[in-house]
């Protein structure tokens, strides 16, 4: 059995190369509508939301069969972070870095969303679902001391039937719906932020 | 043999369940982690303290083989925590030619599943608990790696920055 494995792997590689008619890179726009969030508590705090360059530039790169698909998630992530923060806190300002956020003397909280990773699985068969998982970490720091008050990792998932037209659109929307709701609930339930 | 190993310090409890049975890793991850030299541990952390919030970070979990230096600052013989779970892609790899694409599809699904079930980094308020899986590679393929290993971790209290250290032998 073991003796066949290298041969199989070589055959497999040759097949994959044959199937890949040249390396093609696609860029798929991540266009999502921000979901309607439930009416919860507006926390009486002044927060500064850090929307830095790493968030703005974040993209997920999926490679398969010689092709590359790029999902530029940055703008959607920025909008999601804005919407959730504004829904949860009485006053929200934005800053491009932690250093700039610290300069907001009247603020008491600094909020830092950070995309950790994203992964997608694409099935072979048309009747199966395309699945995506996105992990975003949120840190809340005390502005004055810069101590970490709260840290939460949000793992969101979304799927769409592979055989439906533009399954990407549906999958991305489902991921961001899940991400927004989970983040909103996590902030609402955090005793450290009250 | 299934079993939880426990560590209790400063009102915090860390329960560890090493997945050393191929059947269980296949059920949860569709992958024979034991045969492929991947150590999978299910970790549950409960904060039963009064008024203390702890920072729980995966980076602070380390798997120490028996006989290795257990000093937290030491780094020589520790088994690395898998940072990107990407090793699994190599492990599963493309298989026989005709099912190559299916195998690739399967390996991406396994990787996505590993990420989705991973222990999250988070602060843990009094009365809260959290759980998830941590992965380490490489361990000896096909062996019960847990019999000779200890899990060490350190949780930081957010207000005082004081660390609470745990050393949990996994042997059972």
Model ipTM value: 0.75
Q: Do B101 and A16 touch (CB under 8 A)?
A: yes
Is residue A113 a part of any domain in this protein?
yes
DSSP classification of residue B162: -
A114, A136 in Cβ contact below 8 A? yes
Q: Do A155 and B116 touch (CB under 8 A)?
A: yes
Residue listed under structure tokens 């069969």: A65
- Tell me if the bond preceding A69 is cis, omega within 30° of 0: no
Is residue A136 a part of any domain in this protein?
yes
Please enumerate in sequence order all residues whose Cβ is within 8 A of that of A56, keeping only pairs 6 or more positions apart, or say none: A74, A75, A78
The band of B152, judged by pLDDT with boundaries at 50, 70 and 90, is: very high
Structural domain that includes position A149: 43-62+71-193
Beta partners for residue B149, in sequence order:
B65
Is residue A25 a part of any domain in this protein?
no
Chain A, chain B: beta-carbon pairs less than 8 Å apart:
90
Residue A73, number of CB atoms within 10 A of its CB = 24
Q: Rounded to a whole number, what is the distance in Å from the CA of B104 to chain A's nearest CA?
A: 8
The Cα B31–Cα A2 span in angstroms is: 18
Instruction: List per-residue pLDDT tens for chain A, 194 residues long.
Output: 444 455 555 445 544 554 445 578 888 889 999 999 999 999 999 999 999 999 999 999 988 777 898 999 999 999 999 999 999 999 999 999 999 999 999 999 999 999 999 998 888 777 788 999 999 999 999 999 999 999 999 999 999 987 766 788 899 999 999 999 999 999 999 999 98
Q: Rounded to a whole number, what is the distance in Å from the CA of B84 to chain A's nearest CA?
A: 9
DSSP classification of residue B31: S
Is residue A175 a part of any domain in this protein?
yes
Residues of B in contact with A64 (CB under 8 A): 104, 108
Residue listed under structure tokens 């508590």: A41
B150: CATH:
2.60.40
The Cα B133–Cα B118 span in angstroms is: 5
Q: What percent of chain B has pLDDT over 70?
A: 75
Closest CA to B124 of B67, B76, B65, B55: B55
**Residue B87 predicted with pLDDT over 80:** no
> H-helix or E-strand containing B7?
strand B5-9
For residue B64, the SS3 value is strand
Least confident of A17-21, A155-159, B34-38, B64-68: A17-21
Residues of B in contact with A15 (CB under 8 A): 97-98, 100
The Cα B40–Cα B58 span in angstroms is: 13
Highest mean pLDDT among B27-31, B69-73, B168-172: B27-31
A139 touches B at CB < 8 Å: no
What pLDDT was estimated at residue B98?
38
**Residue B79 predicted with pLDDT over 70:** no
Cα angle at A188 between A186 and A194, to 5 degrees? 120
A46, A91 in Cβ contact below 8 A? yes
A109: CATH:
3.40.50.10610
Alpha carbon B40 to chain centroid distance?
5
Residues of B in contact with A155 (CB under 8 A): 115-116, 118, 120
Q: What is the mean pLDDT of residues B32-53?
A: 93
One-letter-per-residue 3-state SS of chain A: CCCHHHHHHHHHHHHHHHHCCCCCEEECCCCCCCCCCCCCCCEEEEEEEECCHHHHCCEEEEEECCEEEEEECHHHHHHHHHHHHHHHEEEEEEECCHHHHHCCCCCCEEEEEEEEEEEEECCCCCCCEEEEEEEEEEEEEECCCCCEEEEEEEEEEEEEECCCCCHHHHHHHHHHHHHHHHHHHHHHHCHHHC
Pick among B89, B108, B110, B159 to test the A interface (most A CBs inside 10 A)? B108
The Cα A61–Cα B100 span in angstroms is: 21
B59 touches A at CB < 8 Å: no
Is residue A152 a part of any domain in this protein?
yes
Residue listed under structure tokens 């923060």: A85
Domains contained in chain A, number: 1
Is residue A26 a part of any domain in this protein?
no
CB nearest B116 (choices: A12, A14, A133): A133
Is residue B44 a part of any domain in this protein?
yes
Structural domain that includes position B118: 5-161
B4, B15 in Cβ contact below 8 A? yes
Closest CA to B40 of B11, B18, B69, B60: B18
What pLDDT was estimated at residue B95?
34
Is residue A79 a part of any domain in this protein?
yes
Q: What is the mean pLDDT of residues B100-105?
A: 65
What pLDDT was estimated at residue B101?
61
Q: Nearest residue of B to residue A10 by CA position?
A: B97
What pLDDT was estimated at residue B105?
72
Q: What is the mean pLDDT of residues B84-102?
A: 44
What pLDDT was estimated at residue B172?
57
Q: What is the mean pLDDT of chain B?
A: 79
Domains contained in chain B, number: 1
Q: Do B96 and A119 touch (CB under 8 A)?
A: no
What pLDDT was estimated at residue A19?
47
Residues of A in contact with B47 (CB under 8 A): none
Residues 69-108 of B with CB under 8 A from A: 84, 93-98, 100-105, 108
Radius of gyration in angstroms for the set of CA atoms belonging to chain A, rounded to a whole number: 21
Is residue B170 a part of any domain in this protein?
no
Closest CA to B104 of A88, A121, A99, A142: A121
């Amino acid at each position: 059995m073991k003796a066949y494995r290298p041969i199989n792997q070589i055959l497999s590689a040759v097949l994959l190369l044959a199937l890949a008619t040249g390396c093609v890179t696609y860029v798929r726009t991540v266009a999502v509508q921000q979901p309607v969030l439930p009416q919860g508590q507006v926390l009486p705090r002044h927060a500064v939301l850090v929307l830095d360059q790493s968030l703005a530039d974040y993209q997920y790169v999926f490679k398969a069969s010689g092709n590359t698909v790029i999902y530029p998630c940055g703008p959607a992530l920025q909008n999601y972070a804005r919407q959730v923060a504004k829904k949860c806190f009485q006053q929200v300002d934005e800053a491009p870095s932690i250093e700039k956020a610290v300069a907001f003397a009247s603020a008491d909280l600094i909020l830092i969303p950070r995309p950790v990773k994203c992964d997608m699985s694409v099935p072979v068969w048309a009747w199966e679902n395309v699945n995506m998982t996105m992990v975003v970490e949120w840190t809340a720091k005390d502005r004055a001391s810069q101590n970490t008050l709260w840290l939460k990792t949000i793992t969101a998932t979304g799927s769409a039937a592979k055989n439906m037209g533009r399954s990407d659109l549906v999958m991305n929307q489902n991921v961001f719906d899940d991400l927004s709701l989970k983040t909103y609930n996590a902030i609402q339930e955090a005793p450290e932020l009250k | 043999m299934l079993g939880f190993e426990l560590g209790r310090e400063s009102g915090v409890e860390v329960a560890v369940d090493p997945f050393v049975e191929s059947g269980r890793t296949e059920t949860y991850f569709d992958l024979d982690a034991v045969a492929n030299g991947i150590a999978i541990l299910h970790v549950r952390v409960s904060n039963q303290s009064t008024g203390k919030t702890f920072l729980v970070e995966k980076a602070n979990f380390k798997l120490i083989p028996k006989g290795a230096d257990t000093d937290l600052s030491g780094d020589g013989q520790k088994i690395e925590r898998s940072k990107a779970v990407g090793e699994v892609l190599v492990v599963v790899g493309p298989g026989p030619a005709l099912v190559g694409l299916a195998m690739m599809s399967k390996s991406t699904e396994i990787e996505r599943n590993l990420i989705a079930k991973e222990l999250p980094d988070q602060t843990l308020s009094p009365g809260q608990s959290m759980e998830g899986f941590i992965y380490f590679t490489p361990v000896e393929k096909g062996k019960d790696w847990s019999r000779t290993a200890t899990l060490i971790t350190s949780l930081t209290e957010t207000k005082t920055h004081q660390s609470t250290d745990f050393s949990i032998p996994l042997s059972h």
